[in-house]
Amino acid sequence: MSQTVTTLTPATHLLARNPGMALDMDWVARVQANTSAIERRAATLPGRRSVKKAYQAAWLAKAITLIDLTTLAGDDTPGRVRRLCSKARNPLRPDILAALDLPPLTTGAVCVYHEMVPTAVAALQGTGIPVAAVSTGFPAGLSPFHLRVAEIRESVKAGAAEIDIVISRRHVLTGNWQALYDEMCEFRAACGEAHVKAILATGELGTLRNVARASLICMMAGADFIKTSTGKEPVNATLPVTLTMVRAIRAYHTATGIKVGYKPAGGISKAKDALVYLSMIKEELGNRWLQPDLFRFGASSLLGDIERQLEHHVTGDYSAGYRHAIG
Amino acid sequence: MTTREIFDTMDYGPAPESDAEAHAWIAAKGPAFGHYINGSFTAPGETFATKNPATGVELARITQGTADDVDSAVKAARAALPGWSGLSGHKRAKYLYALARLLQKHSRLFAVLETLDNGKPIRESRDIDVPLAQRHFYYHAGLAQLLSEELPGHAPLGVCGQIIPWNFPLLMLSWKIAPALAAGNTVVLKPAEYTSLTALLFADICAEAGLPKGVVNIVTGDGKTGEAITAHPGIAKIAFTGSTEVGRRIRQATTGQGKALTLELGGKSPYIVFDDADIDSAIEGLVDAIWFNQGQVCCAGSRLLVHESIADDFHTRLRARMDKLRIGDPLDKCIDVGAVVDPIQHATITRLVDANTEGETYRADTPLPTSGCFYPPTLISGLSPAAPLMQEEIFGPVLVSTTFRTPSEAVEIANNTRYGLAATVWTENLNLALDIGPKLAAGVVWVNATNLFDAAAGFGGVRESGFGREGGWEGLLSYLKPTAKTVQSRPIDPTPAPKHVQAPDLDRTAKMYVGGKQTRPDGGYSQPVWSTKGALLGHAGLGNRKDIRNAVEAARAATGWAKTTGHLRAQILFYVAENLSARAEEFATRIRHLTGANAKTAETEVAISIDRLFTYAAWADKFDGAAKSVPIRGVALAMNEPVGIIGAFAPDEAPLLGAISLIAPAIAMGNRIVLVPSHAAPLAATDLYQVLDTSDLPAGVVNIITGDPAELAKPLAGHMDVDAVWSFCARAPAIVIEAASASNLKRTWATDGANPDWLGADGQGKRFLRAATEVKTIWIPYGE
C-alpha cells in the first residue's frame, strides 16, 4: 500500500496547536496596513514569480492536496455530499497521476454544513481526509451566542475534525476588540480537539487595517487557522487581503514561535490563481506553510481547472471539462 | 528533478523567457551595427563589442562614433529642423502616436533585447521600462497636440544633443526623444556604450513610423563620442543623464557656448521610515528602491533612515526579506535581481563596499550564480552620516542605513548630502508626511511608495543631482525657448572723473546691504560715482569675494523666508512698491543724474518699477503648482518651491528697473537674493535698501553688493551655498558664470547682455517665476 504524498510530509500533524495568548492591545494598536502599498506588492508578485513545466505540474498537484473541497448550498443532500467525498478521495484521474509519477492524492478536507457532517464522515471513513464544518451561524454569525457555541459542540460530536467559525463582524466595525477576543476564546474552547479556523469575512471589515487587527486578535485567542471569507460576501479572497493576513501570521510566529494556518476562500477558481497564492505564501511565510496543516484553499471549482491544466501538461493538448469526473 | 521531488521541495525551477527573436533581430540587422543617421543605417566603422553581462557573451558589435559621424548626424538634424519644427502640432502628434504604438507592438522584442544587453530582470524590462517608454510617447503625442494652444510664444531650441545612461536605455531614450520631438526639435542621441541595442531597435521603428529622415539620429560610441556631441557648435541644447562627475565635465565643456543644458545626475536618496509606518510594506518598498535594477538607479533609495525605536525590528525583518530575493539569469521570469551592467561597474561596487570599515555588513543569504556579473543584495547598517558610504553613490545593490530620533532630525540627516534627487517617506500620519515632504532637498518625494514614475510627473533633481525636469509641461519647457525679442545691451562704463571735481555739500557714502545692515566693503576700497554732468554723487563700495561670502551667509540665515506664505510676501512687495512710490521723485532724479536720461524717461523707469513690484506681489500667491493626472490611485503634486539663494547680476541698463526686475520675482517666490547692481549706476540700487528697510522685509532676504561684476562673477557663481546665478550683465559673462557654477552644479541664466526690454512685458512674467522656482513632485498614493 503506497502512502499518499500528503502523509509523506514529515511535519504534517506534528505541529503544536496555537495555545493563544493574553490580548495585547498595545500590539494590536501598532498594527498598520497601507492599502496602496499592499496592493502594489500583490499586483507585482505574479510578474515576479512564475513556475513552468514539471514545476508547475508539481505545484498544481500540491494545490490539490490543499483544497478544502466545499459544498455549502441550501440544496445539499447526502447524495450530493457523498459524490463530493468521492471526488475528494480521487481528485485526479489515475492515468494523469501515473503520467506525473505521483502516488494517489486526496484533497485537504471536505467542507460542509453541520447537517452533512455525519454523511461526510461516513463517506471518508478510513481515508484520513478530515471533515470541516462551517459553524456559529454561518455565514452571518448573528444567531444567539449560546446556540453558536452549541453548534460547534454538535459538529464536533458528529465527527468534524475542523470547525470553520465566523467572527462577529460588528465587534471589528465598532472597535470592540475585547469582545472579539472573548468570543474567539469561547469558540476555540468549544472546539476541543477539533482545529478551529476563524473566518474574518474580510469583505465586510471595511479596511485592511481592520483585517490585520482582526487576524491578530483571532490568533491571540487561539485560532489554528485564519480564513478570509465565507464565500458568501460580495468580495471574498483577494491577494491584498491574503498579503495582509499572512503578514499577521508571520508577525505572530515571530513573536510566539507558533505557526498559524491560512485559508483563502471564495473566488479562487483558476489554476493560475492558485499558483500565485502559493508563491505568495512561499515568499511571505516560507515552504513550511505549503502543507495542508497550514494552508488550505476554500474552493469548489478550482479542482476542475487544475485537472484540465494537468492533463494539458501530460498530453501537450488543451483539455476539456467533461474529461474529468465531477464532484 | 522529478515531479514527485518538486512536490516535496516546492522549488520554483527555471522559467526562461526566449531570446530567440532578439538574437534573430541582431543577426538580421547586424551583427555589426552602424549609426542611424538621416533615416538610414551607416556602414559599421570601427566597432567594439556589446556583451550580455549575465554571461559575458558578445551580443553584437557597435560602431565607435567619430567626430565626423557626429557632424554628419548634426547636419542631418539641422537639415530636418525646418521641416519638423514647421509641422503642425497635430502632425507631430501623429508621429509620436505612431512611435508609441510601435513600441507596444514590439514590446517583447524591446524587453528581451534590453535584458540581454543590460542584465536587468525581464520582469522589469517587460513590466516597467517598456510600458513607461510607451506611456512617454503617448503623453508627448498629447503635448505636441496641445503645445501651440497652451504655450504660445515658444519655439523649439534646434538640434538637441542627448546623451543617456546604461541603466534604463530605452526608457531614458524615451524621456529624451519624446519631449524634444513634441516641441519641434530634432535630435542626435547617443546611447551608453554598454547598452546601444534598444536605441538601434528604436531607430528601426522610427523608420517604420515614417518619421522624416534626420529628425532622429542615433550615434553610438563611448565618452569620446559624447564629447564630440557636447562640443559641436551646431547643437542648441545638451540633455544629459548620467553621473555627477560627467555632468560636471559637460557643464564645464559647454560654458559660454550658448547651449541650453539639462542634467539629470546622481543621488544618494534618503528612504525615511517613521515608527508608525506599515513596516512590512516599507520593507517591500526597499526592494523596489535599492534592489530594483540591481540598485543601478539614480534615484534609488540607497540611504535608509529608520526611527530609532523600531530600528532593531525593522532591520531583522529586512534581512529576512533580503534572503528571499532571487538572483540569477535576468531572462528568468522568476528572478528579482539580475546582473550588474559590466565587470567595471561590478569592480567599482566591490571596491566601495570593501573599503568600508564601519557598521555591520549583511549579504543576502541567497544563492549567487557562479559566473556572470552578479553582486549580492547587501545591507550595511549602523553607519553615521560621516561614513563615506552614507555620502558616496554606490550605484549597486547596496543599502546603507542609520537611525534618527525625531522628524526634524530625520530631515537634517536626509538633507546632509550634496545630492538632491529623490526621497521616500513612510508614515501612516498624513500630517507628518506632508510636513516632511516640502522640507526634503529633492526633486521628487514619494510618500508610502518608491520609484513611481510617469510621463505626466516631472522628474529631476536639485543640488548636484542636476537641473531641469523631465516629464510634464515643465519637462517640455526644457525643450522650448521664448520667441520674445531681446536687445543686445552694450556694457556701460562708470562715468569717468571730470577734470574739475564738484564736491557735494555733504559727503554721501552708499554702503553695501548685507543681512539687513549697511556694511562697509571688506577690502576698504570705494569708487566715486559721478553724474554724467561731472558731479560727485557719492561713493559706492568696491565689493570683493569676502563681501560675497558675508552676503551669502546672511542669505542662508534668512532661510525662514522660504517658509513664509505667499500672502505675506505679496503684502511686503506691495509695501515696497508703496514706499518706492512715496520717493518716486527722488529715484527719478537719481536715475537722471546717473544715466543722463531725461526726466520723462527716468520717471517712466520708476513708474514701471512700481508696476513690476505689483506684478510680482500679485504672483506671490498665484504661481500655483499642479495636481498631475498620473495613472495611479493617488495624486502627484507638482509644487513650485523656491530655488534657494539666487546670486544675480543686474543689467547695466535701467539701473533701478533692472535690479527690481530680478529682486521682485526672486523674493516673491521665497528665494533670498544676493544682487550685484549696475556697476555704472550702483546708487539707484543702494538707495533701494532704505525702501526695503521701511517695508518690513526680513534681514538677509535681499543683499546688495556693489562692485565690478567682472570681479564678483567668479566668487558669486562659484559659491557652493548659492543655488542659482542669473547674469543680465555682460561684465559677468556666461563663460565665467557657467564655468564657476560647475562647483556645485547650480542652475544658471546668463544672457551676456542679450536682455529683454525691461520696460516692456518681456521684462517680467512666468519665465522669471520659473527660473525662481524648482518643481518638486510629491507622489501620494492613497486608499484605505
Give the pLDDT confidence score for residue A13 in this predicted structure.
53
Which residue's C-alpha cell is 507628518?
B432
Alpha helices, DSSP H, located in B530-654: 545-557, 566-582, 584-595, 599-620
Question: Could you give the angle at which helices A177-191 and A145-157 cross, rounded to 10 degrees?
Answer: 30
Q: Are B186 and B160 in contact (CB under 8 A)?
A: yes
pLDDT tens by residue, A32-91: 999 999 999 999 999 999 999 999 999 999 999 999 999 999 999 999 999 999 999 999
Which residues, 6+ apart, have CB-to-CB distance to A193 below 8 Å? Answer: A156
Contact B10 A32 (CB under 8 A): no
* Cα distance between residue B685 and residue B566, in whole Å: 24
Which residue's C-alpha cell is 512561499?
A282
Query: Number of structural domains, chain A?
Result: 1
Q: How many CA atoms lie within 13 A of A64 on its CB side?
A: 30
Closest CA to B397 of B455, B445, B339: B339
CA angle B23, B24, B30 (to 5 degrees): 85
Does position B774 have pLDDT exceeding 60, yes or no? yes
Question: Could you give the angle at which helices B197-208 and B169-182 cross, rounded to 10 degrees?
Answer: 40
Give the pLDDT confidence score for residue A3 in this predicted structure.
41
Q: Region B445-456: what's the mean pLDDT?
A: 98
Closest CA to B158 of B82, B239, B217, B218: B82
Which residue's C-alpha cell is 515614417?
B210
Closest CA to B638 of B522, B481, B780: B780
Q: Region B172-187: what's the mean pLDDT?
A: 98
Q: Are B373 and B339 in contact (CB under 8 A)?
A: yes
Has B264 been annotated as catalytic?
A: yes
Residue of A nearest to B320 (CA): A284
User: What are residue B186's DSSP bridge partners?
Assistant: B159
- Sort out which chain B residues have CB atoms less than 8 A from A51's CB and list them: 12-13, 15, 334
Cβ neighbour number for residue B592 with a 10 Å cutoff: 19
DSSP string, A199-248: E--GGGS-SHHHHHHHHHHHHHTT-SEEE---S-SSS---HHHHHHHHHH
Kindly state whether residue A8 falls inside one of the protein's structural domains.
no
pTM beyond 0.80, yes or no: yes
Kindly state whether residue A3 falls inside one of the protein's structural domains.
no
Look at residue B216 and give its three-state secondary structure: strand
- Sort out which chain B residues have CB atoms less than 8 A from A33's CB and list them: 278, 281
**Phi, psi (deg, nearest 5) at residue B534:** 95, 5
The cell numbers describing B319, all together, are 534581512
**Phi, psi (deg, nearest 5) at residue B18:** -70, 140
* Cα distance between residue B681 and residue B695, in whole Å: 23
Q: Are B189 and B177 in contact (CB under 8 A)?
A: yes
The helix (H) or strand (E) run that includes residue A45 is helix A35-48
* Cα distance between residue B561 and residue B148, in whole Å: 36
Using a pLDDT cut of 70, give the percent of chain B over it. Answer: 100
- In terms of residue numbers, what domain contains A38? 26-324
Give the pLDDT confidence score for residue B506 in this predicted structure.
81
Residue of A nearest to B784 (CA): A35
Please classify residue B466 by burial: count the beta carbons closer than 10 Å to its beta carbon, then call 0-12 exposed, 13-18 middle and 19+ buried. buried
User: Is residue B20 very low, low, confident or very high in pLDDT (cuts 50, 70, 90)?
Assistant: very high
B525: contact with A, CB 8 A cutoff: no
Q: How far is B161 from chain A (nearest CA, A)?
A: 36
pLDDT tens by residue, B200-249: 999 999 999 999 999 999 999 999 999 999 999 999 999 999 999 999 99
* Cα distance between residue B477 and residue B148, in whole Å: 12
Look at residue A196 and give its three-state secondary structure: strand
Kindly state whether residue A31 falls inside one of the protein's structural domains.
yes
Q: How far is A32 from chain B (nearest CA, A)?
A: 5
Q: Point out the residue among B3, B123, B324 whose CB comes nearest to the CB of A57.
A: B3
Does position B445 have pLDDT exceeding 90, yes or no? yes
- Sort out which chain B residues have CB atoms less than 8 A from A34's CB and list them: 277-278, 281, 428, 448
B280: contact with A, CB 8 A cutoff: yes
Q: Point out the residue among B6, B282, B781 whose CB comes nearest to the CB of A54.
A: B6
Cβ neighbour number for residue B355 with a 10 Å cutoff: 10
Measured CA distances, B137 to B98, B149, B152, B158, B468 (Å): 9, 19, 22, 20, 19
Please classify residue B693 by burial: count the beta carbons closer than 10 Å to its beta carbon, then call 0-12 exposed, 13-18 middle and 19+ buried. middle
Pairing mode, strands B378-381 and A261-263? unpaired
Pairing mode, strands B58-63 and B47-51? antiparallel
Cβ neighbour number for residue A79 with a 10 Å cutoff: 9
pLDDT tens by residue, B109-134: 999 999 999 999 999 999 999 999 99
Kindly state whether residue A5 falls inside one of the protein's structural domains.
no
What is the ipTM, given to two decimal places? 0.95
Kindly state whether residue A224 falls inside one of the protein's structural domains.
yes
Interface test with B, best of A26, A27, A55, A314 (most B CBs within 10 A): A55
**Phi, psi (deg, nearest 5) at residue A152:** -60, -50
B449: contact with A, CB 8 A cutoff: yes
Kindly state whether residue A2 falls inside one of the protein's structural domains.
no
Kindly state whether residue A299 falls inside one of the protein's structural domains.
yes
Give the pLDDT confidence score for residue B653 in this predicted structure.
92
Q: Point out the residue among B7, B13, B281 whose CB comes nearest to the CB of A37.
A: B281
- Sort out which chain B residues have CB atoms less than 8 A from A209's CB and list them: 784
Which regions of chain A are under pLDDT 50?
Answer: 1-12
- Sort out which chain B residues have CB atoms less than 8 A from A41's CB and list them: 281, 284
Pairing mode, strands B512-514 and B517-519? antiparallel
Has B474 been annotated as catalytic?
A: no
B101: contact with A, CB 8 A cutoff: no
What does the H/E/C string look like for B22-51? HHHHHHHHCCEECCEECCEECCCCCEEEEE
DSSP string, B721-755: T--EEEE--TTS-HHHHHHHHTTTT-EEEE-TTEE
Residue of A nearest to B15 (CA): A52
The cell numbers describing B783, all together, are 486608499
Q: Point out the residue among B3, B126, B783 whose CB comes nearest to the CB of A102.
A: B3
pLDDT tens by residue, B541-593: 999 999 999 999 999 999 999 999 999 999 999 999 999 999 999 999 999 99
pLDDT tens by residue, B368-389: 999 999 999 999 999 999 999 9
Q: Are A231 and A197 in contact (CB under 8 A)?
A: no
Q: Point out the residue among B5, B278, B324 whose CB comes nearest to the CB of A34.
A: B278
Please classify residue B733 by burial: count the beta carbons closer than 10 Å to its beta carbon, then call 0-12 exposed, 13-18 middle and 19+ buried. buried
B627: contact with A, CB 8 A cutoff: no
Which residues, 6+ apart, have CB-to-CB distance to B464 below 8 Å? Answer: B244, B265, B266, B418, B419, B420, B744, B745
Q: Are A181 and A220 in contact (CB under 8 A)?
A: yes
Kindly state whether residue A317 falls inside one of the protein's structural domains.
yes
pLDDT tens by residue, B243-282: 999 999 999 999 999 999 999 999 999 999 999 999 999 9
Look at residue B653 and give its three-state secondary structure: coil
* Cα distance between residue B763 and residue B755, in whole Å: 8
Residue of A nearest to B780 (CA): A36
- Sort out which chain B residues have CB atoms less than 8 A from A54's CB and list them: 1-3, 6, 13
Q: Buried (b) or exposed (e) across B47-80, using 16+ Cβ within 10 A? A: beebbbbbbeeebbbbbbbbeebbebbbbbbbeb
Does position B327 have pLDDT exceeding 70, yes or no? yes
User: Which of these is catalytic: A164, A224, A273, A293?
Assistant: A164
- Sort out which chain A residues have CB atoms less than 8 A from B630's CB and list them: none
Q: Region B152-178: what's the mean pLDDT?
A: 98
CATH of the domain at A107: 3.20.20.70
Cβ neighbour number for residue B175 with a 10 Å cutoff: 26
pLDDT tens by residue, B480-510: 999 999 999 888 889 999 888 877 778 778 8
* Cα distance between residue B183 and residue B143, in whole Å: 8
